[in-house]
């Protein structure tokens, strides 16, 4: 709770009198920025201020719980806190009241304080009812009296219309003298409530917040014939102005949030060093924050709800003759473009202020979420915000972990690479489609809305129809699908599909509603009968290969016309495809017997679904390939069975099995077999012949820093490396052989996890790396900028950074810092050159030391070992000639400054900055002396991203 700057002098006699005090709005122990459910708060501005100045606080679990009801005892405490600051209720417990039901209340002292000052009255029978919910009218009466209204004069007590009188003053403006003036706000400003409504924590905050800024007044009385009446009102300052030390509202536009979450507010005076939090989702919007006479009060900026944000359609044109003209659209929305001082915010990065033109709004595209903002309600656009997010499917269970500092990170298979800081992941589960973007180290995730129905048409390549409703296609370049991919899921309008939508309501991605998992299919490898027909006890048995790869012998029940009936045998004429197997769907009866339904190359109705098989030959199958062969579409439930038939014994070898197209087997050549489909979607792929290639990355990769020296046990004949990394995990490494240090190596481990062999890593080494739109981009040579190679990442891919000390840290792919000087090793499956899918990425961070720079003056080298006293000679230029200072080889993120001893040379001009390859040329013109020669000093300072500084000194003798 907050500290008070002044202590209220309170006279406690027979009656406790209301005192006023200056309560400095210093930082509360628990701030608004700490609340875990701020996104669920409607009255965010009110809650943020009251939490930050200490009137209210969150719950012990870190939430605010805005929808919870406030009881009468809590309201008494809140009003006491508003007037007194952080005071313990025990200070007032000695106050005498006639209330009989508060002795056991946790808020007894607060209730007594409010009662002694006329803020509460009870029911006249000695009851206060502390545990009952406080209503809006009851809370309004308490607040009105607390800020100076006279309950008796205003008709709040002993008046049949007390409720009406209270709501009148709570909802209307105040007046004094003979003129009416508008207050800063009324008690119910911003609320839509009835007098009898129970007050929620959210609405209580808004009413108390309003009370801080309502202008108080003091009545003056006169008498006419012994009857007292109010002659005029004298305006009094608000609680914000007095008790809260000049608390005042400030607004501006949020234009930046740094890596620590601190905001820059343009138009206000907030910069990151002020350490006020900002939410990147408010970038470009008008935000509010509060200060008092001592400085900043707010812990976080909140959206100024008075500003107007309007979504920009993706298909506007800059053509006045068209109906979708930008200017027409703006006019229809009551807006116009500003000439200057507007912002364009793209993917949470703001440009400098400039005019927004019609061209900026034309053709934004359906994939982008874009809106224009009128921050101050004057009808002029102040900002254009555009955000392009990547589309990904959640492919597994979401996991979280908490570090020793209490920071929570999350791993979302298919979306993030490893554990990252994220927002919006809480309700995600496998199969969800999300849009996401990473900014300032945090991944912001939005779950896509969806509709389910049948595809009833499409419009060229621009729209898809679901149950007759048209959905414009979003952009497929960011993980979405084309209209062709969507409509190919079903061209007969028989199957249900789920269509996922972007934030503009456009079609992103379609998936068949997964019904395959409820329909059991199998392969019959053998069939027999047991028992005697004389005894009528014949039992049919079948040896089944199931979709999960298991094989079992089961009893077969009696069948129907399409079933395999008892007594059937596997003969050449009965084979349905391939060699010696049937393809079946099955159900299991209450006795555990299987009813087998033979499948054919035509649709067989099974449980209301059409199931059939199709023979495949020379099929193309590879991991992640949804349309894997001959137009068949798989999904995350598609099972792949791989078995080889032996003609010598007419049997299949044990099948290998995988589930999901991401885990499909890979064939170097061709594959033969069959595909079982359920309503057109591949449920089971049975491959009977082909050359199978291992597409998994099963190798173990180790890294041991160069500084690590192993210990050797002559008894065990084992080396122990006390600090090493196996697949990025730090651990001791035990080996039968001496291992290479300072490099990523591939090793084989025995069952005891002891290294038994070592070889080169087998990946591809590059120099230069960046990551964006789910694509890893690397330079294709050991020198940068020669060419590019592009990789996707496996769902469970890991990215590691190796620092200058050899320490490995796992990072999210989104956390890769583009750097052309970093070394990169890309590791994957054995066929990585063709699939271009990375399993492990090791990034060796380039030494950011500034001493790697190369500096010369007029082509004369200058070393960092030089000092001002021992500067290298850099030639003897003449007056009014140009001198060039060249800087190359500076790491990304470094800054360079070039200065001269201006006692002799006064016309230094820097005409270039660092280029993309870390080079810069700086020129100046020699001036003075008028005669003779002088020595002028050149100083080049290079400051690396890590703060390392190197200084280069050179000297020149300038001749007149």
Per-residue pLDDT tens for 12-22? 332 333 333 44
Two tokens, residue 516: 């395959």
> Are residues 362 and 459 both part of a single domain?
no
Report the distance separating Cα 629 and Cα 665, nearest Å. 13
Q: Which of 602, 568, 561, 567 is nearest to 582 (CA)?
A: 568
> Are residues 898 and 953 both part of a single domain?
yes
Residue predicted with more confidence, 953 or 76: 76
Identify the domain boundary among 693, 728, 760: 693
Q: If you average pLDDT over residues 175-179, what whole number do you get?
A: 37
Q: Which of 530, 613, 540 is nearest to 575 (CA)?
A: 613
Quote the pLDDT of residue 803: 82
Q: Is 753 inside a domain boundary?
A: yes
Report the distance separating Cα 388 and Cα 397, nearest Å. 26
pLDDT tens, position by position, 223-260: 888 887 777 767 778 888 888 888 988 888 888 888 77
For residue 249, the SS3 value is: strand
Q: Is 786 inside a domain boundary?
A: yes
Q: Is 136 inside a domain boundary?
A: yes
User: What's the domain count of the chain?
Assistant: 7
Looking at the chain, the whole-number percentage of residues with pLDDT higher than 70 is 78
Range 313-320, long-range pairs (CB < 8 A, 24+ positions): 313/364, 313/504, 314/363, 314/364, 314/365, 314/366, 314/367, 314/368, 314/370, 314/472, 314/504, 314/506, 315/363, 315/366, 316/361, 316/362, 316/363, 316/364, 317/362, 317/363, 318/358, 318/359, 318/361, 318/362
- Residues sharing a CB contact under 8 Å with residue 366, sequence separation 6 or more, in sequence order: 314, 315, 472, 473, 474, 475, 502, 504, 506
Identify the domain boundary among 194, 214, 236: 236
pTM of the model: 0.49
Q: Which residues pair with 748 in a beta bridge?
A: 757
> Are residues 89 and 176 both part of a single domain?
yes
> Are residues 429 and 379 both part of a single domain?
no
Sort residue 757 into left (φ over 0), alpha (ψ -120 to 50) or beta.
beta
3-state secondary structure 203-241: HHHHHHHHHHHCCEEEEEEEEECCEEEEEEEEEECCCCC
Q: Is 733 inside a domain boundary?
A: no
Q: Which residues pair with 450 in a beta bridge?
A: 500
Q: How far is CA 288 from CA 251, 272, 386, in A?
A: 4, 16, 22
Q: Is 716 exposed, middle or buried (0-12, 13-18, 19+ CB in 10 A)?
A: exposed
pLDDT tens, position by position, 915-934: 434 456 777 777 655 566 77
pLDDT exceeds cutoff 90 at 78: yes
Q: Is 653 inside a domain boundary?
A: yes
> Are residues 341 and 405 both part of a single domain?
no
Q: Is 244 inside a domain boundary?
A: no
pLDDT band at 24 (very low <50, low <70, confident <90, very high): very low
Quote the pLDDT of residue 75: 94
Phi, psi of 287 (to 5 degrees): -130, 160
pLDDT exceeds cutoff 50 at 288: yes
Two tokens, residue 10: 């309170």
Report the distance separating Cα 209 and Cα 141, nearest Å. 15
Q: What stretches of 13-142 adopt beta strand conformation (E)? A: none
Report the distance separating Cα 745 and Cα 738, nearest Å. 12
Q: Which of 512, 477, 519 is nearest to 497 (CA)?
A: 512
Phi, psi of 551 (to 5 degrees): -125, 135
DSSP 525-545: EEEEEES-TTTT--EEEEEEE
Domain holding 910: CATH number?
A: 2.60.40.1080
Quote the pLDDT of residue 574: 36
Report the distance separating Cα 99 and Cα 471, nearest Å. 65
Q: Are 745 and 759 in contact (CB under 8 A)?
A: yes
DSSP 446-488: EEPEEEEE-EEEEETTTEEEETTEEEEB--GGGT---HHHHHT
Q: Is 318 inside a domain boundary?
A: yes
Quote the pLDDT of residue 180: 36
Q: Are 813 and 797 in contact (CB under 8 A)?
A: yes
Phi, psi of 15 (to 5 degrees): -130, 135
Residue predicted with more confidence, 899 or 615: 615
Q: If you average pLDDT over residues 734-750, what whole number do you get?
A: 87
Which H or E element spans position 498?
strand 497-501
> Are residues 198 and 103 both part of a single domain?
yes
> Are residues 562 and 682 both part of a single domain?
yes
Residue predicted with more confidence, 236 or 808: 808
Quote the pLDDT of residue 17: 38
Domain that holds residue 543: 516-693
Sort residue 158 into left (φ over 0), alpha (ψ -120 to 50) or beta.
left
Report the distance separating Cα 453 and Cα 18, nearest Å. 66
Phi, psi of 162 (to 5 degrees): -55, -40
The alpha carbon of 27 is separated from its chain's Cα centroid by a whole number of angstroms, namely 28
pLDDT tens, position by position, 80-123: 999 988 888 888 878 888 888 888 899 999 999 999 889 998 88
> Are residues 351 and 373 both part of a single domain?
yes
Question: How crowded is residue 916: how many other Cβ atoms within 10 Å of its Cβ?
Answer: 9
Edge-to-edge, what's the strand order for the sheet holding 497-501? 449-453, 497-501, 507-512
Identify the domain boundary among 788, 817, 846: 846
User: How high does pLDDT run on average in the chain?
Assistant: 76
pLDDT exceeds cutoff 90 at 612: no
pLDDT band at 332 (very low <50, low <70, confident <90, very high): very high
Quote the pLDDT of residue 927: 66
> Are residues 864 and 904 both part of a single domain?
yes
Q: Is 283 inside a domain boundary?
A: no
Q: Which of 194, 192, 181, 190 is nearest to 208 (CA)?
A: 190
Cα atoms found within 13 Å of the Cα of residue 454, Cβ hemisphere only:
7
pLDDT exceeds cutoff 50 at 695: no
> Are residues 544 and 664 both part of a single domain?
yes
Quote the pLDDT of residue 662: 64
Which H or E element spans position 552?
strand 551-556
pLDDT band at 901 (very low <50, low <70, confident <90, very high): low
Question: How crowded is residue 815: how many other Cβ atoms within 10 Å of its Cβ?
Answer: 19
pLDDT tens, position by position, 366-415: 667 788 888 777 888 888 888 888 888 887 778 888 877 778 888 888 78
Q: If you average pLDDT over residues 175-181, what whole number do you get?
A: 37
Q: Which residues pair with 585 in a beta bridge?
A: 521, 597
> Are residues 621 and 563 both part of a single domain?
yes
pLDDT exceeds cutoff 50 at 153: yes
> Are residues 117 and 213 both part of a single domain?
yes
pLDDT exceeds cutoff 70 at 173: no
Q: How far is CA 532 from CA 131, 248, 539, 565, in A?
A: 81, 97, 9, 16
Residue predicted with more confidence, 473 or 557: 473
């Amino acid at each position: 709770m907050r500290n008070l700057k002044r202590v209220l002098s309170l006279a406690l006699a027979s009656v406790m009198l209301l005192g006023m005090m200056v309560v400095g709005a210093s930082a509360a122990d628990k701030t608004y920025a700490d609340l875990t459910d701020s996104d669920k708060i409607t009255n965010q501005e009110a809650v943020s201020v009251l939490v930050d100045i200490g009137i209210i606080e969150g719950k012990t679990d870190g939430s605010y719980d805005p929808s919870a009801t406030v009881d009468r005892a809590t309201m008494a405490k809140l009003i006491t806190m508003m007037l007194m600051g952080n005071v313990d209720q025990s200070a007032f417990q000695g106050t005498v009241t006639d209330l009989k039901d508060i002795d056991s209340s946790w808020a007894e002292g607060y209730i007594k304080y409010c009662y002694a000052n006329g803020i509460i009255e009870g029911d006249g029978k000695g009851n206060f009812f502390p545990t009952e919910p406080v209503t809006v009218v009851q809370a309004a009466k308490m607040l009105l009296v607390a800020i100076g209204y006279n309950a008796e004069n205003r008709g709040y007590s002993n008046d049949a219309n007390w409720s009406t009188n209270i709501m009148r003053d709570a909802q209307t403006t105040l007046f004094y003298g003979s003129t009416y003036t508008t207050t800063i706000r009324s008690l119910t400003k911003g609320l839509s409530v009835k007098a009898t409504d129970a007050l929620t924590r959210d609405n209580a905050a808004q009413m108390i917040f309003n009370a801080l800024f309502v202008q108080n007044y003091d009545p003056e009385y006169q008498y006419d014939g012994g009857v007292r009446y109010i002659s005029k009102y004298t305006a009094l300052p608000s609680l914000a102005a007095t008790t809260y030390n000049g608390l005042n509202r400030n607004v501006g536009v949020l234009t930046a949030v740094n890596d620590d979450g601190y905001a820059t507010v343009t138009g206000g005076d907030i910069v990151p060093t002020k350490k006020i939090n900002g939410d990147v989702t408010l970038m470009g919007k008008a935000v509010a924050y509060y200060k008092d006479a001592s400085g900043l009060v707010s812990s976080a900026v909140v959206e100024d709800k008075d500003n107007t944000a309007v979504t920009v359609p993706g298909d506007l044109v800059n053509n006045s003759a068209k109906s979708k003209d930008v200017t027409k659209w703006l006019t229809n929305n009551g807006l116009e473009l500003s000439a200057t001082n507007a912002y364009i915010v793209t993917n949470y990065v703001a440009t400098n202020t400039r005019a927004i033109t019609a061209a900026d709004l034309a053709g934004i595209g359906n994939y982008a979420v874009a809106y224009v903002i009128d921050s101050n309600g004057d009808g002029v656009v102040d900002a254009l915000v555009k955000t392009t997010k990547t589309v990904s499917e959640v492919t597994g269970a979401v996991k979280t972990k908490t570090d020793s500092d209490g920071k929570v990170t999350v791993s979302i298979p298919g979306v993030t690479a490893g554990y990252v800081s994220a927002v919006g992941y809480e309700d995600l589960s496998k199969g969800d489609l999300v849009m996401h973007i990473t900014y300032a180290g945090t991944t912001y995730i939005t779950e896509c809305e969806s509709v389910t129905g049948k595809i009833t048409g499409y419009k060229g390549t621009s729209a898809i129809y679901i149950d007759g409703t048209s959905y414009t296609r979003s952009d497929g370049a960011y993980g979405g699908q084309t209209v062709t991919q969507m409509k190919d899921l079903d061209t007969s309008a028989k199957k249900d599909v789920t269509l996922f939508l972007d934030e503009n309501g456009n079609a992103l991605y379609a998936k068949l509603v997964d019904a395959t998992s409820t329909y059991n299919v199998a392969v019959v490898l053998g069939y027999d009968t047991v028992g005697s027909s004389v005894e009528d006890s014949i039992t049919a048995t079948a040896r089944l290969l199931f979709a999960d790869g298991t094989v079992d012998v089961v009893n077969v029940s009696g069948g129907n016309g399409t079933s395999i009936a008892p007594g059937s045998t596997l003969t050449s004429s009965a084979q349905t495809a391939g060699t010696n197997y049937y393809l079946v769907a099955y159900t299991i009866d209450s006795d555990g017997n299987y009813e087998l339904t033979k499948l054919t190359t035509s649709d067989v109705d099974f449980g209301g679904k059409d199931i059939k098989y199709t023979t495949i030959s020379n099929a193309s199958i590879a991991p992640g390939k949804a349309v894997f062969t001959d137009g068949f579409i798989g999904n995350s439930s598609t099972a792949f069975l791989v078995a080889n038939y032996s003609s010598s014994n007419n049997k299949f070898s044990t099948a290998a099995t995988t589930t999901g197209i991401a885990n499909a087997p890979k064939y170097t050549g061709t594959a033969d077999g069959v595909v079982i489909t359920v309503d057109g979607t591949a449920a089971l792929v049975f491959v009977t012949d082909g050359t199978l290639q291992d597409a998994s990355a099963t190798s173990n990769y180790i890294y041991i820093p160069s500084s690590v020296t192993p210990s050797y046990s002559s008894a065990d004949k084992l080396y122990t490396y006390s600090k090493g990394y196996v697949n990025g995990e730090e651990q001791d490494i035990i080996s039968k052989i001496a291992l290479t240090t300072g490099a990523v190596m591939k090793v084989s481990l025995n069952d005891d996890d002891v290294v038994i062999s070592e070889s080169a890593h087998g990946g591809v080494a590059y120099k230069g790396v960046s990551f964006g739109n789910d694509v890893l981009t690397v330079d294709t040579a050991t020198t940068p900028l020669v060419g590019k190679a592009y990789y996707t990442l496996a769902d469970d891919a890991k990215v590691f950074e190796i620092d200058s000390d050899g320490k490995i840290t796992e990072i999210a792919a989104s956390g890769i810092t583009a750097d052309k000087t970093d070394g990169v090793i890309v590791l994957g499956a054995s066929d990585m050159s063709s699939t271009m899918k990375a399993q492990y990425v090791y990034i060796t961070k380039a030494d950011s030391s500034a001493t790697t720079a190369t500096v010369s003056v007029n082509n004369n080298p200058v070393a960092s070992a030089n000092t001002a006293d021992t500067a290298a000679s850099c030639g003897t230029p003449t007056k009014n000639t140009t001198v060039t200072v060249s800087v190359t080889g500076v790491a990304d993120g470094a800054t360079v400054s070039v200065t001269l001893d201006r006692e002799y040379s006064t016309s230094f001009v820097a005409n270039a900055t660092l280029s993309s390859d870390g080079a810069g040329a700086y020129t100046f013109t020699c001036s003075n002396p008028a005669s003779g020669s002088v020595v002028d000093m050149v100083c080049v300072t290079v400051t690396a991203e890590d703060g390392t500084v190197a200084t280069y000194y050179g000297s020149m003798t300038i001749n007149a």
